[in-house]
Chains A and B, each alone.
Chain A
């Protein structure tokens, strides 16, 4: 299995030999940022296309098939359309906050994105409380949504933003609980270590029942965090037309759109990292030949394969269920998810203490 650490170290030493240390660090930062943003955009394009095709398949349609072969150029034409759209100035809007909001949302998802381990060593940020960092970074996107709703001077946006706030703050809790359950199992909060640990079996198998429950809880709260159906109350198009981004046109809307999709990618990426082993190949203890064969598949393929599987799962959920009502959202969280999450954490702790995990 390729270890990207060697490649990265090689780049690092060659840069250091060419220029002073501080300049080398600067160049590395820029390189990493460019790579991250590039990957971010590529994945966004793939995701938007995938969403449209998968959604169509669930609904007995064929989806976009006019622009390019199988409609693969659809996303590019959409982006082009967004770029040439008029940016409308909203009367009495808070100009600075209004323009800042989409960038906050994108920024939060970009920072979280850089924490994802694509393969062994291929990760921008990796330190001992990585999991905490991911949760903190992903949760400040809500700030952008709240500001967007507030600064738009639109009542629909405002209601959407308020809903979004209530929903996100609630679901952070159950998301944290489900991640914590896995942290108990692994005993580490560093992402690279979490994945390394899973090369001898994915956590969802090793943690059996509590891990599966945590996985389901994570998928539900992840859906809620990304404001996707059935939790798309902040933008509920049949109630609030477009919720918090009603007043945005052109690229302002485009950024929200991209951020929403990337948040889904991030949720799926984290799910595959902590539950499905990240870039770790499929491992069954005892079958050495099989494990050997699995190791031939590069880690990045494993990671993306699992991530896109989880994304497909999220899309399947999204295109099946009706939207919840705000009180149902809160009842689901506070009456069901939090108690079950706490109980699950307890069960996992007992399992780990008693050594009932694999």
Chain B
């Protein structure tokens, strides 16, 4: 029988293992703490640019977006999160009729952030922003109109 399995041996071994554990915690007692002070650190907080917080449709300075109302995003969405209303407008110069976006509705509450809509968009008209503080008190407020 090795010493480790004897009566005295178990005590010695036990005390040693307990002491090592206490040494580790004592060292940590004096090290720097890792807690992040949210929300005080809002200014310095870095959220990855790739974070999928909420779907947005970027507009340029004149308020135009790139959406061509093709409906691919609506079709590819697994949850029916996106609904688009369009109208037909006849172009005065060419005389051809063209679909134009009227309203782009997006339900943040039902979105599963799979990014399929962004991947499907041929014009890069929609993207995810890294805005993450999206909590609201009413579900209806989560239905957003993306186009201006």
Q: Is A309 an interface residue (CB 8 A)?
A: no
Q: Is A4 an interface residue (CB 8 A)?
A: no
Main secondary structure of the interface of B (DSSP, over half): helix
Which residues 98-130 in B have Cβ within 8 Å of A in the complex? none
* B-side interface size class: 10 to 19
Give chain B residues whose Cβ lies under 8 Å from the Cβ of A317.
22
Question: How many residues from A make CB contacts under 8 Å with B?
Answer: 13
A316:B11 contact, CB within 8 angstroms: no
A316:B22 contact, CB within 8 angstroms: yes
Question: In the assembly, what is the distance between CA of A61 and CA of B18, in Å?
Answer: 22
Give chain B residues whose Cβ lies under 8 Å from the Cβ of A60.
28, 31-35
Please pick, from B24, B31, B33, the residue contacting A62 in the complex, using a CB distance under 8 A.
B33
B33:A58 contact, CB within 8 angstroms: no
Interface string of B63-105 (1 = CB under 8 A from A): 0000000000000000000000000000000000000000000
Question: In the assembly, what is the distance between CA of A56 and CA of B11, in Å?
Answer: 30
Nearest chain B CB to A342 CB, angstrom units:
15
B28:A59 contact, CB within 8 angstroms: yes
Give chain B residues whose Cβ lies under 8 Å from the Cβ of A320.
18, 21-22, 24-25
Please pick, from B26, B31, B34, B37, the residue contacting A316 in the complex, using a CB distance under 8 A.
B26
Which residues 306-334 in A have Cβ within 8 Å of B in the complex? 316-317, 319-321
Give chain B residues whose Cβ lies under 8 Å from the Cβ of A319.
25
Q: Is A57 an interface residue (CB 8 A)?
A: yes
A58:B29 contact, CB within 8 angstroms: yes
Question: In the assembly, what is the distance between CA of A61 and CA of B36, in Å?
Answer: 9
Question: In the assembly, what is the distance between CA of A316 and CA of B33, in Å?
Answer: 17
Nearest chain A CB to B109 CB, angstrom units:
29
Give chain A residues whose Cβ lies under 8 Å from the Cβ of B34.
60-61
Among residues of A, the one whose C-beta sits closest to the C-beta of B34 is: A60
A58:B25 contact, CB within 8 angstroms: yes
Question: In the assembly, what is the distance between CA of A21 and CA of B100, in Å?
Answer: 99
Q: Is A336 an interface residue (CB 8 A)?
A: yes
Nearest chain B CB to A356 CB, angstrom units:
23
Among residues of A, the one whose C-beta sits closest to the C-beta of B36 is: A62
Question: In the assembly, what is the distance between CA of A62 and CA of B35, in Å?
Answer: 6
Interface string of B17-48 (1 = CB under 8 A from A): 01001101110110111110100000000000
B11:A336 contact, CB within 8 angstroms: yes
Pick from A56, A58, A319, A320 the residue with the most CB of B within 10 Å: A320
Among residues of B, the one whose C-beta sits closest to the C-beta of A322 is: B21
Please pick, from B11, B21, B35, the residue contacting A61 in the complex, using a CB distance under 8 A.
B35
Give chain A residues whose Cβ lies under 8 Å from the Cβ of B37.
62
Among residues of B, the one whose C-beta sits closest to the C-beta of A61 is: B35
Question: In the assembly, what is the distance between CA of A58 and CA of B21, in Å?
Answer: 12
- A selection of 5 A-B contacts at a CB cut-off of 8 Å is A57-B29, A58-B29, A59-B28, A317-B22, A321-B21
B-contacting residues of A (Cβ < 8 Å)? 56-62, 316-317, 319-321, 336
With A58-B28, A316-B26, A320-B25 already in contact, 13 other A-B pairs whose C-beta atoms are closer than 8 Å: A57-B33, A60-B28, A60-B34, A60-B35, A61-B34, A61-B35, A62-B35, A316-B22, A316-B25, A319-B25, A320-B18, A320-B21, A336-B11
